[in-house]
Amino acid sequence: MSTAHSKAAEKFLKNSQQAEWHNETLWMVRAKRDKLSKQVPEWEELRNNAEALKLYSSSHWVELLTEFEKNAIANGAVVHWAKDAQEYREIVYQLLSERNVKNFVKSKSMLSEECELDDYLIERGIDTVETDLGECILQLMKLPPSHIVLPAIHIKREQVGELFEEKLNTEKGNFDPTYLTHQARKYLRQIFLNADASMTGGNFAVASTGEVVVCTNEGNADMGTAATDFHIAAFGLDKIVPDRESLGVFTRLLARSATGQPITSYTAHYSKPKKNGEFHIIIVDNGRSEILGNEEHRKVLNCIRCGACMNTCPVYRRSGGYSYSYFIPGPIGINLGMAHAPNKHAGNLSACSLCLSCSMVCPAKVDLGEQIYKWRQKLDELGESNTTKKILSKGMKLVMDNPALFNAALWAAPMVNKMPRFMVYNKLNAWGEGRDLPQFASESFNSMWKRNKVQLNDNKKDNE
């Protein structure tokens, strides 16, 4: 009855020390988020406002995005529209190749991961470097991110040290984080200085001003855009917010939810090109308008990519980012994967105990757990339901629909208690791998009630 996720999770948990560390480290981030969010008395009101603003924005994409475009053009930017990943990649490549760009620096953009931009450009001869430290480490390791805010959270400093020894010629055996960070900084500084063009994503796009807002902690986005005269910013349709006032709601929620900081170290508003430079904006759909048309699931478009749902998710913390098939893991990744390509990512749906902590932690009130429940109801229709689970559910229904059968089962159940251990605990019993089975009571409540034992007990007490 295992799924793609459960198999990968089992493998992840085999290294129990690493798994425990992963769980505890991400819980610390959740705890930091709790502390910071509790310092804002109007936190729940902010969440309500964020939810309302996102729902408003999603239902006014046409108006807000055209307003954004008009203002961005007036600021001197060039605006492009991409209907899918292919168009997005082609636009970026065309812009770069027309200007003969060879060295391209990027700050973190989950959209570029979604559209698999880096490999596309590198294959075409453009040296594309990720400059966010976590992303940079992963690019050197040729690995994808395992978390959307803390992409290299699963990598230990010893591994980084060894990687840098090989790639950056650092001192052998020096795994001191400060030393390693300085070495990365030295390496990246040269890359920035040699860059011909830069790219950022966009955390928010403000319709009333035509600005793209980028929130980072390392300042690498600002380094890239300062070092080059040619800047491309790309964002998905769902990043649009009406105005600066509404932007304030989100910037107050984002860093507190993501990392437990009051605000990111840098919040850059990009609106116009540098003197003699160029500023291009790409607005990408890539399936978003289709999600908007899906009434049960459109609320995933509220997501501001803070990662709080991952940090709180007891399953994500104990299974790691790579146990999910979609490039975004955790509760939001399960949902976005299903919204984009259900048959490809149905194997992630098991990764949820429906504890609903994700729905409660989400700053934009995406009903993440509830949506996972809804997706599960579609599995059969999608041809992705598990046969054992289906038989179990149908069998259970048969018994439960019929009180006589249920009572017979209640009567027979205690016999399982007496079965030899090898018959109960074997490969067919997934529960029994790490836990003992519950013991059935020698007499069920139904039987006790029918034989007046429940009531008698009570009368006896009354008489005492």
Partner 1 sequence: MKIGLFIPCYVNAIFPQVGVASYQLLKKLGLDVDYPIDQTCCGQPMANAGFEDEAKKLAMRFESQFEKYDYIVGPSASCVSFVKENYPRVLKKEKHLCESIGKIYDICEFIHDVVKPNSLNASFPHKVSIHNSCHGVRELFLSTPSEMNIPYNNKLRNLLNLVNDIEIFEPKHIDECCGFGGMFAVEEQAVSTAMGRDKVKDHMSTGAEYITGADGSCMMHMKGVIDREKWPIKTIHVVEILNSEG
Pairing of β 230-236 and β 278-284 = parallel
Structure tokens at 178: 């400060």
Q: Given the complex with partner 1, which of 52 and 122 has the nearer CB atom?
A: 52
Q: How far apart are CA 183 and CA 160, in angstroms?
A: 11
Q: Confirm or reject binding of residue 21 to partner 1 (CB under 8 A).
A: no
Q: Which of 150, 258, 300, 315 binds partner 1 (CB under 8 A)?
A: 315
Q: Which of 41, 125, 383, 420 binds partner 1 (CB under 8 A)?
A: 41
The stretch among 182-190, 204-212, 285-293, 309-317 that binds partner 1 (CB under 8 A) is 309-317
Q: How far apart are CA 51 and CA 363, in angstroms?
A: 8
Q: Given the complex with partner 1, which of 23 and 97 has the nearer CB atom?
A: 23
* Least Cβ distance, residue 293 to partner 1 (angstroms): 21
Nearest to 13 by CA among 425, 5, 25: 5
- Residues numbered 341 to 380 that lie near partner 1 (CB under 8 A) are 349-357, 359-361, 373, 376-380
Q: Confirm or reject binding of residue 322 to partner 1 (CB under 8 A).
A: no
Size of site (CB under 8 A) for partner 1: 83
Q: Which of 125, 383, 420, 438 binds partner 1 (CB under 8 A)?
A: 438
Q: Given the complex with partner 1, which of 177 and 403 has the nearer CB atom?
A: 403
Question: Residue 113: enclosing H or E segment and its boundaries?
Answer: helix 110-114
- Residue 211 φ/ψ, nearest 5 degrees: -95, 150
* Least Cβ distance, residue 103 to partner 1 (angstroms): 43
- Residues numbered 374 to 413 that lie near partner 1 (CB under 8 A) are 376-380, 385-386, 389-390, 392-394, 396-397, 399-403, 406, 409-410, 413
Burial class of 419 by CB neighbour count within 10 A (0 to 12, 13 to 18, 19+): exposed
CB atoms within 10 A of CB 383: 8
Structure tokens at 243: 């105005």
Question: Per-residue contact track with partner 1, 206 to 235, x per CB under 8 A?
Answer: ------------------------------
Q: Which of 81, 179, 187, 440 binds partner 1 (CB under 8 A)?
A: 440
Amino acid at 303: C
Burial class of 381 by CB neighbour count within 10 A (0 to 12, 13 to 18, 19+): exposed
* Least Cβ distance, residue 342 to partner 1 (angstroms): 13
* Least Cβ distance, residue 336 to partner 1 (angstroms): 19
- Determine contact, residues 76/272, Cβ cutoff 8 Å: yes
* Least Cβ distance, residue 338 to partner 1 (angstroms): 12
- Determine contact, residues 238/301, Cβ cutoff 8 Å: yes
Q: Confirm or reject binding of residue 443 to partner 1 (CB under 8 A).
A: yes
The stretch among 57-65, 180-188, 273-281, 313-321 that binds partner 1 (CB under 8 A) is 313-321
Q: How far apart are CA 46 and CA 52, in angstroms?
A: 10
Q: Which of 59, 177, 294, 431 binds partner 1 (CB under 8 A)?
A: 431
* Least Cβ distance, residue 316 to partner 1 (angstroms): 9
- Residues numbered 128 to 167 that lie near partner 1 (CB under 8 A) are none
Q: Which of 1, 225, 343, 451 binds partner 1 (CB under 8 A)?
A: 1
Q: Given the complex with partner 1, which of 193 and 408 has the nearer CB atom?
A: 408
What is the spatial order of strands in the sheet that 266-270 belongs to?
Answer: 240-241, 204-206, 211-216, 266-270
- Torsion, Cα of 204, 207, 211, 213 (10° steps): -10
Buried b (16+ CB within 10 A) or exposed e, 101-117: bebbbbbbbbbbbbbeb
Q: Given the complex with partner 1, which of 42 and 116 has the nearer CB atom?
A: 42
Q: Given the complex with partner 1, which of 67 and 384 has the nearer CB atom?
A: 384
Q: Which of 21, 63, 94, 445 binds partner 1 (CB under 8 A)?
A: 445
- Determine contact, residues 195/109, Cβ cutoff 8 Å: no
